[in-house]
Structure 1
Amino acid sequence: MRVGVDARNLVPSLSGIGRYVLEMCRALGEQGHALILYLPEAPHTPLPPLRGCELRIGTFKGPWRRAVWSMTALPKAAKQDQLDLFWGPAHRLPPGLPVDLPTIVTIHDLVWLKAPETMRWQTWLGERAFMVASLKRARHIVADSEATAEDITAFYPDAAGRVDVIYPGLTTLPPPGGRPLIPMDDQGQKERYALFVGTLEPRKNLAQLLQAFASIPSSSLSGLKLVIAGGQGWRMGDLSALISHHGIQDRVVLTGFVSDAELAQLYASADFLLMPSLYEGFGFPIIEAQSFGVPVITSNRSSMPEVAGDGAVFVNPDDSAAIADAIQRLHSDRELREQLGELGRLNTARFPWEMAATALIQLAVTQDTSARLQTRDVH
């Protein structure tokens, strides 16, 4: 098939949704589909080679010009390219596409409705303005999880018959490497640590996590460190000041943004992953950690139990005492860590990118699509 993709999420440095778009396009291209990736401006960092993918790069820099691009240049180009399918991989479908062109929009989460207090107001406004219209336009709607699908149909009952769940895939990280990140003890040995991975923002619930960690005496954790890996998001202020307020600055390590090789290094030696988020549409760090045999402590709400399967301990993210109890339990019980680690490895087999790409195309294989293909072949 000839697939047009709104690839605006490939412009900034890759993380989260940008990685999802990249991996899905890679898998679709490797399955023999021809993709046209529409970008409002050149990527900030070079993209890796993608088989079967042609880039159409505009000159619309910045968020406001990008919005203009999505309503003008993007649909105009899509009309001219004789597409068999148009895919909006991140909550958006442009107006003005041909009415007979099959369209799919992927919805990763409904943070703007489920946890609006954790968002920037600009992002909230953008979701409200564009997601609702995109849901109405789309012939098919893809949700990253059953939890997100249920949220969509609860808020938008008219979408119920058009929503399908397609799990994202697990990206294989490179071999561990990069700058030294793992704490060392006085003898030069790697210290034990629990790991948090994610953008530093309110939805990730770092305030409760730090409170929980601070409530446990260091002696009860045999000196276990907390390593926080992620770039600065918003409304977290000075995280170092919050850590100092709890008096745990000697027990917490802030790495900042890490490369894939550095992330692999952190996963490879972690005792367990901590992800007590308030809300997640999927939660990539869960399956990334599990692929290294690392057990997980995560929240008992939204998509997290569904994604983690049997390889996790689940907690109420609003209860710092419950988070602290889970940390102590997993720290002290090596047999439980090993058991959950093995169950987590098995769980990751549910998430191949190839299966996700195949499922996406199958949604679009309709009589209308077949007719478009036949018409194009004739001409």
Structure 2
Amino acid sequence: MSRPTVLLVNWRDTRHPEGGGSERYVERMAEGLARRGYDVTIQCAAHANAPADEVVDGVRFRRRGGRLTVYLWALVAVLRLRPDLVVDVQNGMPFFSPLVARCPVLVLVHHVHREQWTAVLGPVLGRIGWLVESRLAPRLYRNCAYVTVSEVTRTELDRLGVSAARITVVHNGLDPVPPTRAAQDRDPTLVLVGRLVPHKQVEHAIDVVARLAARWPKLRLEVVGQGWWLSNLRRHADLRDVQDRVTLHGWVDEQDKHEIIARSWVHVCPSVKEGWGVAIMEAAAHGVPSVAYRAAGGVAESIVDGFTGLLADDFDDLVEKVDRLLGAATLRAGMAVAGRARAGRYDWARSVDAFEELVRESTRT
């Protein structure tokens, strides 16, 4: 008996220069399915960091096309590979796989991109992108099951016309954090982990440092991550006259990333939108509380407001919440205990269990 075949079509993979938490989720699900006997392929964009074809942890990677042509290559893959199930990963733009698939299609959405379209493409193209995501996609995928990573996104999809009954929430897991040598810094230290792109709003974290500089003369910000927005952030730090307080580390290996998180006082996540917030959970596992915007999607779920971190309503509130945590060692200590306990409840094995059950249900229909 042949193994069930699953094709995941995704814009990027984790080795892509712009890969991040959503790509990690896709690959963890794919690896888990491969270990359980599925024939799994990920079709994604080509890039210089990896070959066009390879097998990693039982998952076949096919990298073809660029930022736009990846969508055409994905449709070709659906036609040629004839899988038993297509997982259509929608990072704003759908792959339109139901137009050519002769099998069930499962739609994976990390978060809704309403705010990000204009931030990345400007008002005109952004409006077109949002129309595709909010109007066209729900109609095209009206007979498909959906999976997402938070109840917040499930609610947002329901508002776009995707019936909540068709949406299953499968949370992110969490890789075990490695032991670290770092002790908490003596001086107040903020950390931000994420891709350096406009919608992550790293400028807000830099502005927090500028606003609190007089109150906290030794305050520093450490930014871990890479991306094409790096030069803009350097200029912004210069303009705010905090270049000596802001360290833009760029890419670092996993151990160094965890060392930087572990020695920090507060993790700041000023992103416009997140599906869940992997960095928030990694910080929590190290006992570091996070501050993020309440309206930024899944972060309102990955942070338990007042227990593992704080949610802010706007930039001024973000500054106030960071200031509050910096000045309240007892509050941070309590959040450290709560954060570690909550982070321990998330692992990839449980997430793969739930995802595989959804795969089974999808292929039975």
Mark the CA change 1:233 to 1:284 in structure 2 (over 3 Å): closer, same or farther: farther
| Matching residue within 270, 277, 288 for 1:283 | 277
Given that 2:79 and 2:101 are in contact with CA atoms closer than 8 Å, whether structure 1 keeps it comes out as: no
Give the greater-gyration-radius structure (CA). 1
Q: Which residue of 2 aligns with 1:9?
A: 12
Mark the CA change 1:97 to 1:143 in structure 2 (over 3 Å): closer, same or farther: same
Q: Which residue of 1 aligns with 2:59?
A: 53
The percentage of counterpart residues that share the same residue type is 21
**Does residue 201 in structure 1 map to residue 197 in structure 2?**
yes
Mapping for residues 321-340 of structure 1, pairs under 5 Å: 322-340=317-335
Displacement of 1:131 in angstroms is 7.7
**Does residue 26 in structure 1 map to residue 21 in structure 2?**
no
**Unmatched runs of 5 consecutive residues or more in structure 2:** none
State the AA in 1 paired with 2:287.
G
Mark the CA change 1:314 to 1:361 in structure 2 (over 3 Å): closer, same or farther: same
Deviations 1:1-24 (Å, cap 9, x if unpaired)? 432222552262442322222222
Normalization by structure 1: what TM-score? 0.80
Displacement of 1:208 in angstroms is 3.3
Question: CA RMSD for the aligned pairs?
Answer: 3.2
**Does residue 162 in structure 1 map to residue 166 in structure 2?**
yes
Q: Which residue of 2 aligns with 1:149?
A: 154
In the aligned structure 1, how far is the partner of 2:203 from the partner of 2:16? 27
Mark the CA change 1:166 to 1:244 in structure 2 (over 3 Å): closer, same or farther: same
In the aligned structure 2, how far is the partner of 1:127 from the partner of 1:285? 26
Q: Which residue of 1 aligns with 2:105?
A: 103
Displacement of 1:39 in angstroms is 4.3
Mark the CA change 1:31 to 1:125 in structure 2 (over 3 Å): closer, same or farther: farther
Q: Which residue of 2 aligns with 1:268?
A: 262
SS for the counterpart of 1:221 is coil
In the aligned structure 2, how far is the partner of 1:358 from the partner of 1:349? 17
Mapping for residues 1-379 of structure 1, pairs under 5 Å: 1-10=4-13, 12-13=16-17, 14-39=19-44, 41=46, 44-45=49-50, 50-55=56-61, 57=62, 60-71=64-75, 73-79=76-82, 83-91=83-91, 92-93=94-95, 94-99=97-102, 101-111=103-113, 113-120=114-121, 128-129=131-132, 134-135=137-138, 136-137=140-141, 139-155=144-160, 157-173=161-177, 191-218=187-214, 220-221=215-216, 223-234=218-229, 238-301=232-295, 302-309=297-304, 310-316=307-313, 318-320=314-316, 322-366=317-361, 369-370=363-364
Displacement of 1:61 in angstroms is 3.2
Normalization by structure 2: what TM-score? 0.82
Higher mean C-alpha deviation, range 160-169 or range 101-110:
160-169
Mark the CA change 1:52 to 1:231 in structure 2 (over 3 Å): closer, same or farther: closer
State the AA in 2 paired with 1:297.
V
In the aligned structure 2, how far is the partner of 1:7 from the partner of 1:158? 21
Displacement of 1:311 in angstroms is 0.5
State the AA in 1 paired with 2:109.
I
State the AA in 2 paired with 1:231.
Q
Runs of 4+, deviation exceeding 6 Å: 46-49
In the aligned structure 1, how far is the partner of 2:196 from the partner of 2:74? 29
Displacement of 1:160 in angstroms is 3.6
Deviations 1:89-139 (Å, cap 9, x if unpaired)? 34444244444x22211111112x244332235787567547865543352
Given that 2:117 and 2:130 are in contact with CA atoms closer than 8 Å, whether structure 1 keeps it comes out as: no
Mark the CA change 1:48 to 1:337 in structure 2 (over 3 Å): closer, same or farther: farther
SS for the counterpart of 1:215 is helix
Mark the CA change 1:63 to 1:131 in structure 2 (over 3 Å): closer, same or farther: farther
